[in-house]
Amino acid sequence: MKTPRHKTLITEKRIRRRVADLAEQINSDYKGRELALIFISRGAFVFTADLARKIRLPVRIDCVSANSYRGLKSSGKVEIDANLKIDIKRKHVLLVDDILDSGITLNKVIRRLEKLGPADIRTCVLLDKTSKRKVPLKADYVGFEIPDVFVYGYGLDYDEYCRNLPYVACLKK
Ligand code: IMP
Ligand code: MG
């Protein structure tokens, strides 16, 4: 598949700056502590790689996989595989996702991780489509609030393609 005609919604430069700001905030909020950085695979892999490299705390990284999108539309049903390799009992968890949309995915993953007895769980998302929320959920760290448009690139997919674009794009009308 060829990359669809698109326009850049958030440039590489803006992403880089914002990710650095978020990491600074996290470094200061968790000062003196250790962090379990859990990302939701696969969409958050690029964001997490960039964020993690700016974090100056003892950090362990693991992932859970969640799938709700089929093609370009959310199926509404979320499948979660939360088989962690690291133990998060009594640990500080920072859950990282690419985008907070209806909130169903993040909410389900939080409920699942809570069963593993962490000290606390905070959430960090690169993008937030606030207008689409179906469950009341606010992320603790948000990169950018965006309008209700389908976006891809920087880890997010367009029907599984385009995750490798270094910026966040949306379709050109
Ligand atoms: P939610 O459960 O509706 O909050 O959906 C969150 C998940 O849907 C994210 O982890 C993304 O993988 C995916 N998603 C939501 N909006 C978009 C989009 O605009 N582009 C690509 N993936 C999206
Ligand atoms: Mg995702």
33 is a domain residue: yes
pLDDT value of residue 2: 76
pLDDT value of residue 58: 98
Residue 157 alpha carbon, nearest atom of ligand 1 = 21
pLDDT band at 164 (very low <50, low <70, confident <90, very high): very high
With the most atoms of ligand 1 within 8 angstroms of its CB, the residue from 41, 65, 68 to mutate is: 68
What integer is the mean pLDDT of 70-96?
87
**Cα–Cα distance, 25 to 22 (Å, whole number):** 5
pLDDT band at 132 (very low <50, low <70, confident <90, very high): confident
Mean pLDDT computed over every residue of the chain:
94
Active-site residue, selected from the candidate residues 50, 97, 98, 101: 101
pLDDT for 73 beyond 70: no
pLDDT value of residue 110: 97
57 is a domain residue: yes
171 is a domain residue: no
15 is a domain residue: yes
pLDDT value of residue 41: 96
pLDDT band at 75 (very low <50, low <70, confident <90, very high): low
pLDDT in tens, 19-70: 999 999 999 999 999 999 999 999 999 999 999 999 999 999 999 999 876 6
Say whether 101 is catalytic: yes
CATH code: domain of residue 140: 3.40.50.2020
Residue 134 belongs to what domain range? 6-65+82-159
Tokens coding 111: 């409920």
59 is a domain residue: yes
71 is a domain residue: no
170 is a domain residue: no
Specify the number of domains making up the chain: 1
70 is a domain residue: no
* Ligand 1 touching residue 43 (CB < 6 A): yes
* Ligand 1 touching residue 69 (CB < 6 A): yes
Residue 156 alpha carbon, nearest atom of ligand 1 = 21
Phi (first) and psi of residue 122, to 5 degrees: -115, 165
Ligand nearest 102 Cα, by number?
A: 1
pLDDT in tens, 98-126: 999 999 999 999 999 999 999 999 999 99
